Amino acid sequence: MRGANTYLGSIGTTIFTVMSALATEHKSINLGQGFPDTDGPDDVVQAAADALKDGRNQYPPMPGVPELRQAVANANKRFYGLDIDWATEVTVTSGATEAITACLMAVLDPGDEVVLIEPLYDTYVPVVRMLGAIPRIVRLAPPNWELPREQIAAAFGPKTKAILFNTPMNPCGKVFTLEELTFLSELILKHDTYAICDEVYEHLIFDGMKHIPLMTLPGMRDRSMRIGSAGKTFSLTGWKIGYITAAANLTPLVQKAHQNLTFTTAPNLQRGVAVGLAKDDAYFASLSTDLQARRDRLAAGLAEIGFGVLPTHGSYFITTDFAPLAARVGFNGDDVAFCRHITEYAGVTAIPVSAFYDEPGAPKHYARFAFCKRPEVLDEALARLKKHFAVR
Ligand code: PMP
Ligand code: GLN
C-alpha cells in the first residue's frame, strides 16, 4: 500500500501517553503527565451532572454556549481588566489543544513562519508543520530560562506571521514579566504579526507573581489570541474545555477553524465550566496557595534526595537536574533512560524534559515532576525515590 502521511509517520506517540502507560504497567506513582489526582470543585461537577438531565443534549451553538462565553468575557474583565464582547470575541473549544490548532489555522498560510520558544509544549511544532508553516525556534537556557533577546529579534523576519508562546510555561515554570512581554509586543508590532498566547496555567502561579496576558499590552488587543483551559483552572483535565479570547476581526477565522475541527463541545461540561468561572476570588487564590504548598513539599524532598531543583513560579511542574544524583549512584543514561529507570526501579514516573525540544542539542539531564497530587502521594513518591537513591 502507498505510504500514508509522511510527517505523521515520522513522529512518535506523545510522551505523556508513553509515560502514563509505563506508569500503569509498573504500578508506579505517576508524577509524569500533568493531571491532579482529585477532582475539581463539587459545584462545578454538580452543575455539569445536572445539565446532563435538563434535556439540552443536542448540538450546542458552534462558538460555545452563551453562559460560558459570557463567563469567559466576565473573567477577562475581573482578572485582567479586558473589555470583551462575549458574542463576537469568545470561542469555546475541546480543550486548549484544539484552541492552539484553531488559532494557528486562523492566521497561517503555507510557507508562513511562526516564532516558537523552546522548551515547548509537544503539539506546537507538529501542528505548525502540518499546516505547511515553518517553525523558527528560539531556545531558553536553564536554570533561569531568560529570553535571549537578540535571538528572538533575529527569529522575526519578513515571513513571520505569528509567535506562539506559553506563560506560565510548561515544563519550566517560567512566568513572563511585563518587561519581557513589552519586548515581545514591540517585535510583534514592528513585524506586523499575530500572537497566540497559551495561558492555560494563568491561575496556577506562585510566589506572589502576577499573570499578565500579552493582550493587555498596548497594540496587542487586536493581534492576540488568548487561550485558557478549564482542565487546569478547575482541576478537571478530562473535560477538555478550552476557550479563546480574540478580537472581533480574528474570532470569525478562529471559529471557521473550530467548525472544521470539532464544530462544538459537550454542552453540559460547558455549563459546568460557566459555574466555575463565576466562582469567587477566594477559589482562584486558594488554587495557587494550595499548589504552591505542594510545590514546596516536592521541591524540598527532591532536593534532599540529591536532585538539582530548578525554580518554578507557575504551572503544575518542577524541572530537576538529575546529573548530581546520577553521578552519585553511577547512572549514566540520558533523561529518557532515567525516567524509565525510576518508573521501573523506584516506582515513580517523571517526564524527560528533552520531549519539549524539537531541534537537536536538547539538554538530556532534566526530568519533570508534577506536584498536582495529594500531599500523601507526594510523600510516598519521595520516600520511594529516597529509598532507591540511598547511598549504597
Ligand atoms: N498547553 C499547555 C502548555 C499544556 O500544558 C496543556 C496541558 N495539557 C495544554 C496546552 C492542553 O490543554 P487541554 O488539556 O485543555 O487541551
Ligand atoms: N499538559 C499535560 C502535561 O504537560 C499533558 C497533556 C496531555 O497528556 N496531552 O503533562
pLDDT in tens, 204-263: 999 999 999 999 999 999 999 999 999 999 999 999 999 999 999 999 999 999 999 999
Which ligand has its closest atom nearest to the C-alpha of 319? 2
CATH, residue 329: 3.90.1150.10
| 153 and 195 fall within a common domain | yes
Yes or no: say if 5 and 132 are a contact pair by the CB < 8 Å rule. Answer: no
**In a mutational test of the pocket of ligand 2, which residue from 16, 120, 229, 354 has the highest number of ligand atoms less than 8 Å from its CB?**
16
| 276 and 345 fall within a common domain | no
Picking from 259, 281, 303, the residue at the C-terminal end of a domain is: 281
* Strand blocks (E) in 281-340: 308-309, 317-321
| 243 and 293 fall within a common domain | no
Which of 197, 217, 233, 219 has its CA nearest to residue 316? Answer: 233
Residue nearest to atom 2 of ligand 2 (CA): 34
Residue at 327 is within a domain? yes
Query: In the prediction, which pLDDT does 328 show?
Result: 83
Eight-state DSSP code of residue 342:
I
b/e map 124-161, b = 16+ CB within 10 Å: bbbbbbebebbbbbbbbebeebebeeeebbebbeeebb
Residue at 362 is within a domain? yes
Quick one: three-class SS letters along 162-208?
Answer: EEEEECCCCCCCCCCCHHHHHHHHHHHHHCCCEEEEECCCCCCECCC
pLDDT at 392 over 60: no
Say if residue 24 is exposed, middle or buried (CB neighbours under 10 Å; 0-12, 13-18, 19+): exposed
Mean pLDDT of the chain: 97
| 146 and 195 fall within a common domain | yes
**Number of domains the chain contains:** 2
Which ligand has its closest atom nearest to the C-alpha of 269? 1
Residue at 364 is within a domain? yes
**Which pLDDT tens digit goes with each residue over 55-109?**
899 999 999 999 999 999 999 999 999 999 999 999 999 999 999 999 999 999 9
| 116 and 209 fall within a common domain | yes
Which of 68, 47, 62 has its CA nearest to residue 261? Answer: 62
Query: If you measure from the C-alpha of residue 98 to the centroid of ligand 2, how many angstroms do you get, rounded to a whole number?
Result: 13
Q: Cell 483551559: give the residue.
A: 229
| 106 and 226 fall within a common domain | yes
Contacts of 362 (CB under 8 A, 6+ apart): 118, 119, 353, 354, 356
Residue at 52 is within a domain? yes
**Which pLDDT tens digit goes with each residue over 13-30?**
999 999 999 999 999 999
Query: In the prediction, which pLDDT does 329 show?
Result: 83
| 189 and 271 fall within a common domain | yes
Query: If you measure from the C-alpha of residue 390 to the centroid of ligand 1, how many angstroms do you get, rounded to a whole number?
Result: 35
Residue at 81 is within a domain? yes
Picking from 281, 309, 343, the residue at the C-terminal end of a domain is: 281
| 375 and 264 fall within a common domain | no
Which ligand has its closest atom nearest to the C-alpha of 204? 1
| 56 and 16 fall within a common domain | no
CATH, residue 161: 3.40.640.10
| 383 and 307 fall within a common domain | yes
Residue type, 246: A
| 176 and 295 fall within a common domain | no
Domain boundaries, position 240: 42-281
Q: Which residues line ligand 1 (CB under 6 A)?
A: 95-97, 121, 166, 170, 198, 200, 229, 231, 237, 240, 242
Picking from 244, 262, 281, the residue at the C-terminal end of a domain is: 281
**Which pLDDT tens digit goes with each residue over 326-370?**
888 888 999 999 999 999 999 999 999 999 999 999 999 999 999
Residue at 1 is within a domain? no
pLDDT above 70 coverage of the chain, percent: 99
Q: Which atom of ligand 2 is nearest to the CA of 20?
A: 8
Residue at 149 is within a domain? yes
| 181 and 245 fall within a common domain | yes
Q: Sorting pLDDT into bands at 50, 70 and 90, what band is 372?
A: very high
Residue at 97 is within a domain? yes
Q: Which residues line ligand 2 (CB under 6 A)?
A: 14, 16, 33-34, 170
Query: If you measure from the C-alpha of residue 122 to the centroid of ligand 2, how many angstroms do you get, rounded to a whole number?
Result: 9
Yes or no: say if 261 and 102 are a contact pair by the CB < 8 Å rule. Answer: yes
Residue nearest to atom 9 of ligand 2 (CA): 16
Q: Sorting pLDDT into bands at 50, 70 and 90, what band is 391?
A: low
